[in-house]
Amino acid sequence: MQELTDQADAARGVITRQLRENYITPLDRGDIFALADRLREVCYQLESVSFAMTSQVFDELPAGVPEMLAVLSHQSDQTLRMTRRLQGHYDQWDYVETMDRLHLRAISLSQSIADAVPLSRRGLTYTAASMQLASSFTQASASFKDVGRIAAAIALKES
């Protein structure tokens, strides 16, 4: 994951340099910068999820984790699809709606991951690690939703 975040840092640096040197861009320069910055944040949030999941306290991951991973995977796939379509100025409203819906699903799943009653039976350390994991999942999903907001801003300008 460290390599991924390093690549995200480098990519954002390249984009920032390009924006300083080019005043005519296919999309609004502010939107391009915001999108690059938010995508970089997504990488860091996913790194936090991987760190939280590898806690030594987990002999078995809490309930809801596989479903949450599926949500994040779907958000990642949809974001990749959106970025590939962005230059063609396609309608991105489906992406925006999908990110909103998936983020709401992530919030409900994080509540099941951090449910204190079943976690308390496993001890305080397990409970704390599970809550950290739930928080990491929610923050990663929120970062994807923020990318959706930027896509919405671009779509508003393009339509």
Q: Which domain holds residue 17?
A: 2-158
At 156, list the tokens: 């508003």
What does the pLDDT read at residue 22? 74
CATH code of residue 132: 1.20.58.220
Which has the closest alpha carbon to 51: 1, 3, 8, 4?
1
Distance CA 41, CA 79 (A): 13
How many beta carbons lie within 10 A of that of residue 141, not counting itself?
26
Per run of 10 residues, the mean pLDDT along the chain (length 159 residues) is 78 78 76 91 94 90 93 96 80 90 95 87 91 95 95 83
Q: How many domains is the chain partitioned into structurally?
A: 1
